[in-house]
């Protein structure tokens, strides 16, 4: 550390000899007075100064310098500030519970300073001294704005309902905040799902994804087409421009414009579900976290598979319309309390808080094979003559194992997985590093969709299982892998969870499950 700093100062010293320093709002002077840096103070996190100097943004260890100038922070009264900006659902519903739980766990008392629903700050106060030690500043903004603020260094965390876009990653790279899509800068905080809902007394019991797509694009407009009465469907949708509307358009309408009258667009979702609950002719598109008094419609397909938006199905991505809540951080070092908070978001206490706020958590849980009866009977029912032998093999191999609550989903014909799955690798890697699976065996079991020959599918499923295991080993860098056995198996299309006649059905079937003993 010392050597490193000395080298740094040496380089600076060299630079300083040729450059006249323009007086700016802070000047950092080394203890021996030999080196100074001036510039605009970008930040101080209690340990490090960040100064936008003529050499670019420099991070300087505060212990080695004296600060002078009008913008110098008061070191004794330093209060760490973490600015968290993003979507209303996450900032207003999840963040309060999460920050309060974090404060409690860290032994602080929390004081919530409220301006309005979308703008509030939590002060974390040391219980013994009454001193305010840090602040979490929370602002409700669109995902677009939150990413822009992150790039402009006006936010420390961005909360989004969508993954960061390529142009935003590029802007971030240019601004020097790192790669926002890298696994150490993005994470899934919690899970939610898009859910079609109706009034409790509505007689319709299910809807196919294909029909749902037609409903949101106004191609299907009568309840009769869903097995109901002859009456128009009043579609109640999230407000246009909201993150959810964008995600719904992506997932259900192939980004087509959603054809809904203004009177049937709602913000917040609470208004939407209140209307649907009272109107038997309404069909609403809402989230699992905001069902109100409505009844969720299960998704059905042509093969008779039923997918219901329940927590377990969302966690395992067996439900096709899951929507992760993403958290992004810049590459720069956050104040210690910010780093602690990020670590906390993965803890069991945080998972409990997430459930309490009405979202689906990511705690790793195990389900015994005997509770998988529904899936097995589905598989046996759908099995061709060659499949039964494979199923038998599988049952023998997995005898005594439990299925882990997370799984991994892939793009068609490839071993590239989606956002939630990428985050799942991180979660599992962390659990293995923490020794949660010491002395146990994990089997990564790959499956494919039914497109293509059985042999190729088996190979493909094996390849996916291997890809997940390899990625896991890479990410669990500090794990002692001699303590946990990691096996792979591949069973092709033998245990489908959905019909292969649609894209989403094939997407559900292309997966790697994790079994543990």
| The dihedral sign for the CA sequence 337, 473, 460, 393 | negative
131 binds other proteins, rule: CB under 8 A: no
Helix boundaries (H) for 188-288: 209-216, 243-253, 269-278
CB proximity list for 301: less than 8 A, separation 6 or greater: 208, 209, 307, 498, 499, 501, 502, 505
**C-beta closer to other proteins: residue 69 or 292:** 292
| The dihedral sign for the CA sequence 480, 481, 485, 486 | positive
Interatomic CA distance for residues 188 and 478, integer angstroms? 21
| The dihedral sign for the CA sequence 301, 306, 310, 311 | negative
**C-beta closer to other proteins: residue 45 or 361:** 361
* Neighbour tally for 502: CB within 10 Å: 17
Helix boundaries (H) for 152-190: 166-175
Computed over its alpha carbons, how large is the radius of gyration of the chain?
26
**C-beta closer to other proteins: residue 45 or 192:** 192
Block residue for tokens 């100038």: 69
Candidates 7, 13, 19, 112; binder of other proteins (CB under 8 A) is: 112
Block residue for tokens 């004794």: 76
Interatomic CA distance for residues 345 and 207, integer angstroms? 35
Token digits of residue 36: 């100074």
> Mask: binding to other proteins, 38-77, rule CB under 8 A, as x and -?
----------------------------------------
**C-beta closer to other proteins: residue 153 or 290:** 290
Candidates 11, 13, 19, 114; binder of other proteins (CB under 8 A) is: 114
CB of 390 to other proteins, least distance (A): 41
CB of 351 to other proteins, least distance (A): 15
201 binds other proteins, rule: CB under 8 A: no
Question: Does residue 500 contact residue 313 with C-beta atoms inside 8 Å?
Answer: no
Candidates 62, 178, 206, 358; binder of other proteins (CB under 8 A) is: 358
**C-beta closer to other proteins: residue 120 or 401:** 120
92 binds other proteins, rule: CB under 8 A: yes
C-alpha separations of 423 from 176, 228, 327 in Å: 23, 40, 11
115 binds other proteins, rule: CB under 8 A: yes
338 binds other proteins, rule: CB under 8 A: no
**C-beta closer to other proteins: residue 63 or 115:** 115
Candidates 19, 75, 229, 270; binder of other proteins (CB under 8 A) is: 270
CB of 467 to other proteins, least distance (A): 39
Angle at Cα 353 formed by Cα 349 and Cα 355, nearest 5°? 115
Return the bridge partners of 188, or none: 326
21 binds other proteins, rule: CB under 8 A: no
197 binds other proteins, rule: CB under 8 A: no
Candidates 203, 227, 232, 293; binder of other proteins (CB under 8 A) is: 293
**C-beta closer to other proteins: residue 34 or 127:** 127
388 binds other proteins, rule: CB under 8 A: no
DSSP three-state, residue 284: strand
Which residue stretch of 265-273, 380-388, 433-441, 451-459 sits at the interface with other proteins (rule: CB under 8 A)? 265-273
DSSP three-state, residue 106: coil
**C-beta closer to other proteins: residue 290 or 301:** 290
Interatomic CA distance for residues 361 and 343, integer angstroms? 15
232 binds other proteins, rule: CB under 8 A: no
Token digits of residue 394: 């599988």
Which residue stretch of 202-210, 292-300, 423-431, 457-465 sits at the interface with other proteins (rule: CB under 8 A)? 292-300
278 binds other proteins, rule: CB under 8 A: yes
Helix boundaries (H) for 120-264: 143-151, 166-175, 209-216, 243-253
Longest dimension (CA), the chain: 86
C-alpha separations of 325 from 147, 267, 423 in Å: 14, 19, 11
110 binds other proteins, rule: CB under 8 A: yes
127 binds other proteins, rule: CB under 8 A: no
Count of chain residues binding other proteins (CB under 8 A): 28
CB of 292 to other proteins, least distance (A): 5
268 binds other proteins, rule: CB under 8 A: yes
Block residue for tokens 């993403």: 326
Token digits of residue 285: 């598109």
Interatomic CA distance for residues 282 and 300, integer angstroms? 19
Which residue stretch of 108-116, 128-136, 176-184, 186-194 sits at the interface with other proteins (rule: CB under 8 A)? 108-116
Candidates 46, 292, 298, 413; binder of other proteins (CB under 8 A) is: 292
20 binds other proteins, rule: CB under 8 A: no
Candidates 96, 284, 335, 419; binder of other proteins (CB under 8 A) is: 96
**C-beta closer to other proteins: residue 273 or 350:** 273
Candidates 126, 181, 211, 274; binder of other proteins (CB under 8 A) is: 274
386 binds other proteins, rule: CB under 8 A: no
DSSP three-state, residue 410: strand
107 binds other proteins, rule: CB under 8 A: no
In this structure, the dihedral spanned by the alpha carbons of residues 387, 389, 390 and 395, taken in order and rounded to 10 degrees, is 120
**C-beta closer to other proteins: residue 11 or 114:** 114
Binding residues for other proteins, rule: CB under 8 A, are: 92-93, 96-97, 100, 109-117, 200, 268, 270, 273-274, 277-278, 291-293, 295, 356-358
């Amino acid at each position: 550390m010392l050597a490193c700093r000395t080298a740094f100062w040496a380089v600076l010293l060299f630079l300083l000899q040729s450059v006249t320093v323009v007086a700016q709002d802070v000047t950092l002077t080394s203890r021996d007075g030999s080196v100074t840096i001036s510039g605009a103070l970008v930040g101080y996190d209690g340990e490090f100064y960040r100064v936008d100097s003529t050499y670019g943004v420099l991070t300087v260890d505060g212990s080695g310098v004296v600060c002078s100038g009008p913008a110098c922070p008061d070191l004794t009264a330093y209060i760490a500030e973490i600015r968290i900006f993003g979507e209303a659902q996450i900032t207003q519903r999840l963040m309060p519970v999460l920050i309060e739980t974090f404060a409690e766990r860290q032994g602080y008392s929390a004081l919530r300073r409220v301006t309005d629903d979308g703008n509030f700050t939590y002060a974390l106060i040391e219980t013994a001294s009454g001193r305010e030690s840090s602040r979490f500043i929370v602002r409700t903004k669109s995902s677009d704005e939150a990413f822009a603020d992150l790039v402009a260094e006006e936010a420390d965390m961005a909360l989004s309902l969508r993954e960061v876009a390529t142009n935003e990653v590029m802007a971030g790279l240019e601004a020097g905040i790192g790669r926002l899509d890298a696994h150490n800068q993005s994470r899934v905080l919690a899970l939610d799902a898009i859910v079609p809902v109706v009034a409790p007394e509505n007689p319709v019991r299910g809807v196919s994804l294909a029909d749902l797509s037609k409903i949101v694009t106004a191609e299907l407009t009568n309840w009769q087409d869903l097995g109901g009465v002859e009456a128009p469907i009043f579609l109640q949708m999230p407000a246009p421009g909201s993150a959810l509307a964008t995600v719904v358009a992506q997932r259900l309408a192939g980004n087509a414009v959603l054809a809904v009258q203004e009177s049937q667009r709602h913000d917040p979702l609470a208004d939407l579900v209140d209307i649907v609950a009272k109107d038997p002719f309404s069909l609403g598109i809402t989230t699992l976290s905001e069902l109100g008094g409505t009844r969720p419609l299960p998704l059905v397909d042509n093969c008779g598979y039923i997918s219901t938006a329940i927590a377990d199905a969302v966690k395992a991505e067996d439900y096709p319309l899951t929507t992760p809540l993403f958290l992004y951080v810049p590459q720069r070092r956050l104040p210690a309390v910010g780093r602690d908070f990020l670590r906390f978001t993965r803890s069991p206490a945080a998972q409990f808080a997430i459930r309490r706020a009405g979202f689906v958590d990511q705690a790793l849980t195990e389900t015994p094979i005997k509770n998988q009866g529904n899936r097995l009977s589905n598989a046996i029912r759908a099995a061709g003559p060659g499949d039964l032998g494979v199923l038998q093999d599988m049952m023998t191999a997995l005898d005594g194992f439990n299925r882990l609550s997370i799984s991994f989903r892939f793009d068609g014909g490839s071993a590239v997985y989606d956002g939630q799955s990428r985050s799942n690798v991180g979660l599992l890697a962390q659990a293995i590093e923490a020794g949660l699976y010491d002395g146990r065996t994990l089997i990564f079991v790959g499956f494919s969709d039914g497109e293509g020959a059985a042999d190729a599918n088996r190979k493909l499923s094996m390849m996916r299982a291997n890809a997940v295991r390899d990625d896991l080993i890479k990410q669990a860098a500090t794990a002692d892998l001699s303590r946990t056995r990691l096996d792979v198996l591949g069973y092709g299309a033998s245990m489908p969870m959905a019909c292969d006649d649609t894209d989403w059905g094939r997407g559900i079937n292309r997966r790697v499950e994790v079994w543990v003993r």
